[in-house]
Chain A
Amino acid sequence: MQIAHDILLRSYRSMRTIRDFEERLHVEFATGEIPGFVHLYCGEEASAVGVCAHLTDTDTIASTHRGHGHCIAKGVGVDGMMAEIYGRKTGVCHGKGGSMHIADLSLGMLGANGIVGGGPPLICGAALSHKVLNDGGVAVAFYGDGASNEGTTLESLNLAMVWQLPAVFVCEDNGYGEATGASYACAGTQKARAAGFGMPYFDCDGTDFFAVYEAAGAAIAHARAGNGPVMLHVQLARWYGHFEGDAMTYRANGEVASLRAEHDCLKNFRQRVTEVSLLEPSALDDIDASVKDEIDAAVTAAKNAPLPEPADLEADVYVSY
């Protein structure tokens, strides 16, 4: 599959941004300065980026508690995200939401979500908007293997089929819901679940950007063309604990080390594009350096940003009252 240079560069940059953002949060969280719960997306970058590479600001996504990657891939700025995670007034949600609630509706980013399975029904609604308003948009729900067991998710698969919505259900299967393995918690297969609803099904290796890009392209094209909803099953793995502070006692020793060594989407991307001289290593090095600066700047700015003010407490509960 031929992918244009600018898409390759943009995608690499996006994946690198997610990686550095998350690795940096891991370090900063350990200092105790970051409040609340933080769930890192490291290791899963190719999924968010491979899917969102096919989307525009007209299209809508709904994310999860592990949402930083989806936000960055959909174009939310790292400055506003970092400030939000630090609980600052300059954050995308003015410090009201934090890591689990980063949202920017102007970019079609319907929010990370603290409620597992909260996204799929919302995406049925977003897809309905696209359909009724006839704006050509599609709506994409990212949800985990754990979330695939929520009634809300299963009902949404059915509703989307019944209403023939331009919806894409991206099941990010990292093998765990918190400390419990998918092999314990998920009966049957996602493929069979899709088939049960008569929904077209695509799958891919979520640690390989090119595989995700290709499968997501086909899935999204199907939905965008008005052929109804689809499921995209993305097999991947997270590199950190469920949340920061999780000692991962349920994972085998060495599991993460071998993922880092063999299933690093960034390393694999670099190898793939430089081997065949699609991109120069120096172009990727430049991106690496500039992303590093960008993340440094975001953290410094967030730490120095003003806190919310008392009046913010009661603002924005209602549009009018």
Chain B
Amino acid sequence: MSKKSFRQAINEALRQEMQRDPRVILMGEDIAGGQGGTAGVVDAWGGVLGVTKGLYTEFGANRVFDTPISEASYIGAAVGAAATGLRPVAELMFVDFVGCCLDQIMNQAAKFRYMFGGKARTPLVIRAMYGAGFNAAAQHSQALYPLFTHIPGLKVVVPSSPYEAKGLLIEAIRDDDPVIFLENKVMYDDEEEVPDEPYSIPFGEANLTREGDDVTIVAFGRMVNFANEAADRLEKDGISCTVVDPRTTSPLDSATILECVEDTGRLVIVDESSPRCNMATDVAALVAEQAFDALKAPIRQVVPPHTPVPFATVLEKLYLPDSARIESAVRSVMAYKKAKQDA
């Protein structure tokens, strides 16, 4: 056990799985970097934010492949390789670039198993970074996990901390289905204690980062941290929250979410993806349909407005949910009094 950053935790998961299984390969733009450069240095970058640094040096050119800037072909190649014996982990850099290769994910990888009558396996992981807070503007800041969650056949992982990232990535690599693994780009330097040995965290099992009596907060990815911060402050005022980190949006641990809402009777959902047809609406529908009687107050969603992500810092701050907004949503559901029902 030692303190590791989100970046190091991901790097370690990749390294340990590559050591364990020779079929695990990596591909992506500049994941080594420096090939064809005048310095003659390979592994010059280790990915645009240094997440795969050292893996080319350790595993060599037959395991780690720098790609041309050709997402449709290399993501498609990862799909094809996965269907024929390898276990590729392809890095898409920014998840926004999925626009360039969605067919290979949506119409190919996701459909093979079902469409081929259960005869195909596509053990593929696509890693990409997501999220606002980097002033990266509209084409480099989206939180597109609902887009993938919408597609049957894909599994979707949104880790909320270094510990979670390592265990969930190892699980993703060992999983026989195509998995989209989304890393919040603002979290790469976050640190916590992470075991040195390999471990996996099963998909579809939510993690309760704390348990309380009054309000259930369901949050995704980086938003779990904000929910915890809000819960800390609320605790001081005697409001106790359960914070649910579903870890994966597909499969979704609906049972745990429903149980928590049954216990607390109040629900706040925090989702940094665009507000229409996102995880917040999905969870709200689930609870409204299956735990209606338990609800003491309307469900509240803490989500961004239905706009592209703005560039300027002031606007981006307004755009993104934060712990203050979560706190006030929790207070508002606590303050809610049911109007007298008409007979």
Across the interface, name the chain A residue whose C-beta is closest to B34: A250
Asked if A317 and B306 make an inter-chain contact with CB atoms under 8 angstroms apart, the answer reads yes
Of the candidates B37, B40, B134, B308, the one having the most CB atoms from chain A within 10 angstroms of its own CB is: B37
How distant is B254 from chain A, measured CB to nearest CB, in Å?
32
Across the interface, name the chain B residue whose C-beta is closest to A179: B33
Given contacts A100-B137, A178-B48, A184 and B36 within 8 Å (CB-CB): yes
Asked if A185 and B315 make an inter-chain contact with CB atoms under 8 angstroms apart, the answer reads no
Asked if B138 and A101 make an inter-chain contact with CB atoms under 8 angstroms apart, the answer reads yes
Given contacts A115-B99, A149-B68, A180-B30, A249 and B311 within 8 Å (CB-CB): no
Across the interface, name the chain B residue whose C-beta is closest to A252: B38
Given contacts A98-B311, A314-B305, A317-B308, A114 and B33 within 8 Å (CB-CB): no
User: Quick one: CB contact mask for A250-268 with B, threshold 8 Å, 1 for yes?
Assistant: 1111010000000000000
Choice from B38, B69, B307, B310 contacting A147 with Cβ under 8 Å: B69
Chain B residue numbers with a CB within 8 Å of A314 are 305, 307
Asked if A249 and B39 make an inter-chain contact with CB atoms under 8 angstroms apart, the answer reads yes
Main SS class of interface, B: loop
Asked if A250 and B100 make an inter-chain contact with CB atoms under 8 angstroms apart, the answer reads no
B35 at the interface (CB under 8 A from A): yes
Q: Which of A51-59, A156-164, A283-291, A304-312 contacts B (4 or more CB under 8 A)?
A: A304-312
Asked if B311 and A87 make an inter-chain contact with CB atoms under 8 angstroms apart, the answer reads yes
Chain A residue numbers with a CB within 8 Å of B135 are 35-37, 87, 98
Across the interface, name the chain B residue whose C-beta is closest to A309: B314
How distant is B132 from chain A, measured CB to nearest CB, in Å?
11
How distant is B101 from chain A, measured CB to nearest CB, in Å?
9
Across the interface, name the chain A residue whose C-beta is closest to B44: A250
Choice from B69, B73, B136, B311 contacting A96 with Cβ under 8 Å: B311
Asked if B73 and A97 make an inter-chain contact with CB atoms under 8 angstroms apart, the answer reads no
Main SS class of interface, A: loop
Bound CA span A57–B32, Å: 42
Chain A residue numbers with a CB within 8 Å of B138 are 96-97, 101, 114
How distant is B218 from chain A, measured CB to nearest CB, in Å?
25
User: Quick one: CB contact mask for B89-108 with A, threshold 8 Å, 1 for yes?
Assistant: 00000001101100000000
A313 at the interface (CB under 8 A from B): yes
Q: How many residues of A sit at the interface, in one of the four size bands?
A: 35 or more
Asked if A97 and B311 make an inter-chain contact with CB atoms under 8 angstroms apart, the answer reads yes
Asked if B66 and A180 make an inter-chain contact with CB atoms under 8 angstroms apart, the answer reads yes
A176 at the interface (CB under 8 A from B): yes
Asked if B70 and A178 make an inter-chain contact with CB atoms under 8 angstroms apart, the answer reads no
Choice from A100, A117, A146, A186 contacting B139 with Cβ under 8 Å: A100
A95 at the interface (CB under 8 A from B): yes
Chain A residue numbers with a CB within 8 Å of B312 are 35, 87-88, 95-96, 98, 307-308
Choice from A95, A177, A250 contacting B315 with Cβ under 8 Å: A95
Bound CA span A88–B306, Å: 22
Give the residues from 147 to 187 in chain A that come closer than 8 angstroms, CB to CB, to chain B: 147, 149-152, 176-186
A116 at the interface (CB under 8 A from B): yes
How distant is A189 from chain B, measured CB to nearest CB, in Å?
15
Asked if A115 and B97 make an inter-chain contact with CB atoms under 8 angstroms apart, the answer reads yes
Give the residues from 30 to 70 in chain B that come closer than 8 angstroms, CB to CB, to chain A: 30, 33-41, 44-45, 48, 66-70
B300 at the interface (CB under 8 A from A): no
How distant is A38 from chain B, measured CB to nearest CB, in Å?
10
In addition to A115-B97, A250-B34, 14 A-B residue pairs with Cβ atoms within 8 Å of each other are A87-B311, A87-B312, A114-B96, A149-B69, A150-B100, A178-B30, A178-B48, A180-B37, A181-B35, A183-B36, A184-B66, A249-B39, A249-B41, A307-B312
Binding site for A on B (CB under 8 A): 29-30, 33-41, 44-45, 48, 66-73, 96-97, 99-100, 134-140, 305-308, 310-315, 318-319
Q: Which 10 A-B pairs have the closest CB atoms?
A: A181-B36, A184-B36, A250-B37, A114-B139, A87-B312, A98-B311, A35-B135, A179-B33, A36-B135, A95-B312
